[in-house]
Amino acid sequence: MRSPFRQLAKDSAIYGTSTVVQRLLTFLLTPLYTNVLAPAALGDVAQLYSLMAVATAIATFGFEPAFMRYWVEHRPPGQVLWHSLVGVGALTLGLGGVGMLLAPAIGTLLALESADAAVLVRYAIGIVALDALAAIPFALLRMERRARTFALLRVLVVTLNVGLNVLFVALWHWGVEGVMLAGLASSFLGAVMVLPLALPHMSPGWNAGLVKALLRFGLPTVPAALAALVVQVADRPILGWLAGAQAVGIYTANYRLAIPMMLAVSVYETAWRPLYLQHANDPAVGGLIAQAMRYFLAVAVVLYAAVALFIGDVVAIPLGSGHLIGAEYWSGLGVVPIVLGGYAALGISTTMAASIHLAKRTELLSLANGAAAIANVLLNLALIPVLGYIGAAWATAGAYTIGTLVTALVAQRVLPIAYPWAALATAVGTVIALGALTSLLPPHGAIGAKLLVVVLVGLIAWRVAGRKPKTIEQPPTSSSSSR
């Protein structure tokens, strides 16, 4: 039998290539923003995109994960697609209308410093509506293993977004409004391209039992998704309230420099979830999950070493009359190693969450994400007044770590897996040691010493990848399988 990891590797390569292209294109906006926009203006952009992330999770209302779960087992699957799209469409229409009316109040609540805050909020709502409508068709492409089509469409959308940002922000100097208009136009393109691909697969009609099943599975993921987003975005508004928009701008620019680890986790999750869901009834799924953990850890420690050690040299690369990242943002480089560690913890949690999805106990995700969200808010409130944006970074990393610990506890209760705990401890210890090392090595130079460290970490990663561990084979309990 062909190893499922070959399929994971194949899909990951396609998703990974496209995601790397997308993120590299998007990363081009960071030099643009840091060399054209003032930190306060970039802070407003970060505030708006924080709001948009939360609003998109609300608008999709759990239909995306529910669609992916029931597309595999419900017949005809076109009914799953139909009900999911109709549900998202209705919610988008209702919530979007309310948001348009409340746009002035939302702009005031976010403390945006740009002019015409209400207009900017309305642009953001339009982006959210279009992205929510496109979410289910994009999930369909993932479940059908149409990775190339998925990747191509995503790259086209990002390419348009970056091109319009160059036009609106760099050439026409439209500022924050140019950023939002570029996002609105690219989201419109994405929706127009992907929605027609879903139409031939739909089976219109009404199935009350299916609607209940979708909501029963999807609704518990909404608070979990919102809590996860609080971990991702709450630091910006709290930092803005406590330290001002300039601090948000510096923090955001450096937060984005952790993009390689974020890419690794994003690519991994995109290919990983369809793989384990399609092996839901395989008695060897425990071994699949355990080995996936090893592979992720091996990649994560090498990425951490490369980025944390060399990021200071990268940002100083000359770019025209400036640098890759504007020099006025360099004071926040200490954010990068901390955020990298947080993303690594998120990848571990993503692996362990497979047990929860397979057992159809998605309500348990709210425990883990809720704990992480509460920790994030409390840590931000406690650390930002003392450490500024460095405190915000530690709050984010701490929240991801707490979420991972809670995920491990609940996941092992519903579907125990014999994880490679020694390899996990080795990887975590390596990351902690590297984090300490970054404070001792100079941010610029000492290239030879940094390369030597990366090589040594690569040898550790090779051992972490190891052999396939034994697993605890345990079928879902009767209570889980009946859910």
What confidence tens digit (pLDDT) does each residue in 95-134 have? 889 989 988 888 887 777 777 888 999 999 999 999 999 9
Considering the domain architecture, whether residues 442 and 398 belong to the same structural domain is answered as yes
Centroid of chain to Cα 277: 20
Distances in Å between the alpha carbon of 138 and those of 78, 103, 143, 144, 180? 15, 28, 9, 10, 22
Residue from 355, 455, 467, 456 nearest 422 by CA: 467
State residue 472's pLDDT score: 38
For residues 242 and 298, state if they share a domain: yes
**Domain shared by 207 and 321, yes or no:** no
Residues 101 and 194 reside in one and the same domain: yes
One domain, residues 131 and 173: yes
Q: Are 134 and 278 members of one domain?
A: no
Task: With cut-offs at 50, 70 and 90, classify the pLDDT of residue 4.
Answer: low
Q: Which residue range forms the structural domain that includes residue 72?
A: 37-219
Closest CA to 35 of 363, 270, 321: 321
pLDDT cut 90: percent of the chain above it: 33
| Domain presence at residue 281 | yes
Per-residue confidence (pLDDT) for residue 23, from 0 to 100: 67
In a domain, 348, yes or no: yes
Predicted confidence at residue 414, as pLDDT, reads 86
Q: What is the pTM of this model?
A: 0.68
- Same-domain status, 201 and 177: yes
Residue 83 shares a structural domain with residue 214? yes
CB 55 within 8 A of CB 99: yes
- Mean pLDDT of all residues in 415-441: 90
Residue 238 near residue 379, CB atoms below 8 Å: no
Most confident of 44-53, 144-153, 293-302: 293-302
Regarding whether 194 and 282 lie in a shared domain, the answer is no
Q: How many domains does the chain have?
A: 2
Distance of CA 322 to CAs 172, 176, 364, Å? 20, 21, 49
Residue 301's nearest CA partner among 428, 394, 397 is 428
Residue after which a domain boundary falls, among 219, 236, 251: 219
Q: Is the pLDDT of residue 476 over 70?
A: no
Alpha-helical segments (H) within 110-244: 117-143, 147-165, 175-198, 208-218, 221-233, 235-243
Residues 6+ apart with CB under 8 A from 424: 293, 297, 348
Which domain-ending residue is among 195, 219, 243? 219
Instruction: Give residue-wise pLDDT tens across range 448-465.
Output: 999 999 999 999 999 898
Q: Does residue 482 form part of some domain?
A: no
More confidently predicted of 406 and 259: 406
How big is the CA angle at 137 (ends 134 and 143), to the nearest 5 degrees? 140
Q: Give CA–CA dist 353/71, Å, rounded.
A: 19
Is 50 within a domain? yes
30: confidence class by pLDDT, cuts 50, 70, 90: confident
- Least trusted range by pLDDT, from 126-130, 268-272, 468-472: 468-472
CA dihedral for 269, 275, 278, 279, sign (positive or negative) = negative
Could you read off the pLDDT of 184-219 as tens digits, one per residue? 999 999 999 999 988 888 878 788 888 888 888 887
Q: Same domain, yes or no, for 27 and 46?
A: no
Is residue 22 one of the residues assigned to a domain?
yes
Q: Does residue 437 sit within a domain? A: yes
Which of the four pLDDT bands, split at 50, 70 and 90, describes residue 266?
A: confident
Check residue 21 and give its pLDDT. 77
Residue 161 near residue 183, CB atoms below 8 Å = yes
pLDDT of residue 313: 87
Segment (H or E) for 32: helix 29-36
Q: What is the average per-residue pLDDT within 237-246?
A: 83
Rg of the chain over all Cα atoms, to the nearest angstrom: 22
CA dist 427 and 460 (Å) reads 8
Residue 483: inside a domain: no
pLDDT for position 200: 85
Q: Are residues 266 and 369 in the same domain?
A: yes
Q: Which residue did the predictor score with more confidence, 408 or 225?
A: 408
Does the pLDDT value for residue 35 go beyond 60?
A: yes
pLDDT for the residue numbered 42: 83
**Alpha helices per DSSP H over 279-388:** 285-315, 335-358, 365-387
Are residues 123 and 181 in contact, defined by beta-carbon separation less than 8 angstroms? yes
CB 31 within 8 A of CB 103: no
Question: For residue range 390-406, what is the model confidence (pLDDT) as tens digits?
Answer: 999 999 999 999 999 99
Point out the least confidently predicted range of 28-42, 201-215, 272-286, 450-464: 272-286
**Residues 87 and 199 placed together within one structural domain of the fold:** yes
Averaged pLDDT score across all residues of the chain: 83
Model confidence band, residue 11 (pLDDT cutoffs 50, 70, 90)? low
The residue among 271, 277, 268 whose CA lies nearest residue 295 is: 268
- Out of 176, 193, 219, pick the residue that ends a domain: 219
Q: Cα(225)–Cα(363) distance, rounded to whole angstroms? A: 11
How much is the average pLDDT of 130-151? 87
Q: Distance between CA 399 and CA 296 in Å, rounded?
A: 20
The pLDDT, as a whole number, for residue 471 is: 40
Residue 481 within any structural domain of the chain: no
